[in-house]
Structure 1
Amino acid sequence: MKSFGLSVEQQEQLWVQWRSGESLRLIARSMGVSRGPMRRYVEACGGVRPPTRRRGRLALTAVEREEISRGIAAGATCRAIARGLGRQASTVSRELARNGGRAAYRAAAADAAADVRALRPKPAKLAGHGRLRAEVVRGLGLEWSPQQIAARLVVDFPDDPDMRISHETIYLTLFVQARGGLARELTRSLRTGRATRQPRGAKLPTGRGQLRDTIPISERPAEVADRAVPGHWEGDLVLGKLPSAVATLVERTSRLVALVALPEGKKAEQVHPALAAAIQRVPAQLRRSLTWDQGKEMAEHAQFTVATGVNVYFCDPKSPWQRGSNENTNGLLRQYLPKGADLRAFTQDDLDAIAARLNGRPRQTLGWKTPAEAFNEAVAQTR
């Protein structure tokens, strides 16, 4: 991997600080180097730290090459130099022959050339397997994640061991273009749309006010927690350019998502009738409960319950993990509903098409069934 002028020590420090979540600007400032070469190096690596190269136990070291150079300058023979190093004379002789002889030998250049000769580039699996690559490209075109693609290959080609690839290999082939297997443009199909792997970081949750006469999540029926009984939903808003928003509903057992347009705004008097209309399109047997966060958009939860017969349970403050399926889905939706966009531009038909996309993706937690398949099975069982 090209170093873009960064020393080995600088590369090591860069990856340590990058993994801790520091920006390239801060890293460059702390190291006293230009941000440009550092950015190009990280992009070339796809944000993935290259594996540490280790030389063989018997290979000459940089220190030994420096001793050879000093021995030549002092006029010592190959045998004398080798004796001082504890090496065979033929080792020193071959080292000189492959690096220009006694007159042209330079320790640093010889050491760098040894690194180049030691490279054993292995072709990327996707670069040499057209049928497998076509399946991966098809999955990315459907906006499936690499993990979903890798798992679905096992389902679709159970008797073909050649049609196997790990999700990490797909990510690396996308991010590290030197592998040559997938076009960088395909990274746009990833949920984040990024062409470089970013370090993971956690954001502190924020509360959004208090509500009156709410039913706390601690009073929610026990059957909701184990997801064994379908019909329990989680909900929230995805915000765009204020005041635009879209309501999201996720069924806990099947992970089916429904999106609700809010063209008039996100206040309680606008949210509750839209949600009520959406939930009433679901078979009555699959309308058991709704879990929401502390958002004031559900201030009219009592009216919602009267209209639908569905009790609303509210999470504890600053506890988004209590409606984790919905949180995860909202993250997936950012691929289609980006922050800062005016979500009022999306019609209900647009949102239904986006929901169909998500509901058609195989999910690991469902044994690689799609949410649509799992939900349809639940509907069939209620008839």
Structure 2
Amino acid sequence: MWARWRAGESLEHIAQLFNRNHSSVEGILAQTGGIQPAPRQRSRLALTLAEREEISRGLVAGDSIQSIARQLSRSPSTICREIKRNRGAKGYRASHADQLAWERAQRPKVCKLVRHRALAHIVAGKLQLQWSPQQIARWLKRAWPRDEDHHVSHETIYRSLFIQVRGALKKELLGHLRRTRAMRCSRHHTQKTDDHGRIRDTISISERPATVEDRAVPGHWEGDLLCGSSGSQIATLVERQTRYVMLVKLTSKDGETVVNALIKRASKLPHELYRSLTWDRGTEMAGHKRFTIATDIAVYFCDPKHPWQRGSNENTNGLLRQYFPKGIDLWVYSQAKLNAVARRLNERPRKTLNYETPAERFQQTIASTG
């Protein structure tokens, strides 16, 4: 069951294999938040089932505790404690004693976030700011490099959220994760498969200079539209080297409005920080030539149905869904509100930036170009 769950199979399919209802399988998985418990092992010092059977046979034969201990090469006190601890109403039974010992041996380690409530409070605060557990873990190491009490792994944070019996973090904090699921499950890759139409006179991404591809030079951006209900949209722009995000309010979804908004946004940055723009094949950029003439910024287009060629932008759009869930009206957001969301995202540390923030890297770029 756990192997198939890790492989990403559905609850319905797993349940069918065991001739069970999917709710039965879900109940088992939910007990540990979809995280498979670590395999248990007996201590090498613990009595084995075979030794307990020898104790049982010795007691039936009337042997003394000292005699049984000599036969097993064990201390008499060990045999005495074993009998007193596991003797049932019908006397000592090896299988019953072994099961009782196995059940008593369950000692889940106390979670660090339970032992250090101040640390749990810090983690909870960062989760409410939509920081990922990995970002929190690495930020803690940067903020308190020599204080182990303020260090916690991202896996511990995830497990404290998904396994609520730990009591370390409130279940409500799950709603602040990028993917607000109740149980951990396998990653599923999704991508756009719809046909965005054809645009004339496009420059393929294959013609983009190598300096853009290796992120060696700043000022190269990736862009796309984030869609909401009723055809509402906002434009998202991500700088490839620093992952700095800009959000652009749109008043309509037609191509002319989109290009005009992008031209206006481009005028706010010096040319050294806005050299090129990579977009998908959406018809909203049919006026790309007018954009290039007005801004002197080259526009490159991804291959059809290849969104990963704008990986930074695709990833950022996923992060933005924490602030703009699917199905909401994006027309109602002012540019000031969009700027506030972009600022929040730019102040989150990123693994790809060695846990610096996009804002820090972008400011460094401005200073170096100035």
TM-score band, normalised by shorter chain:
0.7 to 0.9
User: Is 1:309 equivalent to 2:296 in the alignment?
Assistant: yes
Select 1:367's aligned residue among 330, 354, 358.
354
AA matched with 2:207: E
Structure 1 residue aligned with 2:87: 100
Q: Which moved more, 1:209-218 or 1:105-114?
A: 105-114
The percentage of counterpart residues that share the same residue type is 52
Distance 1:214 1:207, change over 3 A: farther
User: Is 1:177 equivalent to 2:164 in the alignment?
Assistant: yes
Q: What's the offset of the Cα at 1:205?
A: 5.0
Q: How does 1:220-239 map to 2 (within 5 A)?
A: 220-239=208-227
Structure 2 residue aligned with 1:260: 248
Structure 2 residue aligned with 1:147: 134
CA contact (8 A) 1:362 1:369 kept: yes
User: Is 1:244 equivalent to 2:228 in the alignment?
Assistant: no
Structure 2 residue aligned with 1:278: 265
Unaligned runs of 5+ in 1: 1-13
Q: How does 1:286-325 map to 2 (within 5 A)?
A: 286-325=273-312
Q: How does 1:13-32 map to 2 (within 5 A)?
A: 14-32=1-19
Q: What's the offset of the Cα at 1:204?
A: 5.4
CA contact (8 A) 1:262 1:270 kept: yes
Following the alignment from structure 1 to structure 2, what is the Cα–Cα distance between the partners of residues 159 and 88? Answer: 48
Scaled by the length of structure 2, the TM-score of the pair is 0.88
Q: Which moved more, 1:103-112 or 1:253-262?
A: 103-112
Unaligned runs of 5+ in 2: none
CA contact (8 A) 1:212 1:299 kept: yes
Q: Deviations over 1:143-200 (max 9, x none)?
A: 2111111111222223323221111111111211222221222222222233321211
SS in 2 for 1:162: helix
Q: How many residue pairs were aligned?
A: 364
Q: Which moved more, 1:164-173 or 1:248-257?
A: 164-173
Structure 2 residue aligned with 1:346: 333
Q: What's the offset of the Cα at 1:330?
A: 0.8
User: Is 1:124 equivalent to 2:111 in the alignment?
Assistant: yes
SS in 1 for 2:238: strand
Q: Which moved more, 1:241-250 or 1:96-105?
A: 96-105
Q: What's the offset of the Cα at 1:96?
A: 4.4
CA contact (8 A) 2:263 2:295 kept: yes
Scaled by the length of structure 1, the TM-score of the pair is 0.85
CA contact (8 A) 1:78 1:92 kept: no
Q: What's the offset of the Cα at 1:136?
A: 1.6
CA contact (8 A) 1:146 1:171 kept: yes
Distance 1:216 1:118, change over 3 A: same
Structure 2 residue aligned with 1:45: 32
Q: What's the offset of the Cα at 1:358?
A: 0.3
Distance 1:297 1:177, change over 3 A: same
Q: How does 1:39-78 map to 2 (within 5 A)?
A: 39-57=26-44, 59-60=46-47, 76-77=61-62
Following the alignment from structure 1 to structure 2, what is the Cα–Cα distance between the partners of residues 142 and 174? Answer: 16
CA contact (8 A) 2:244 2:359 kept: yes
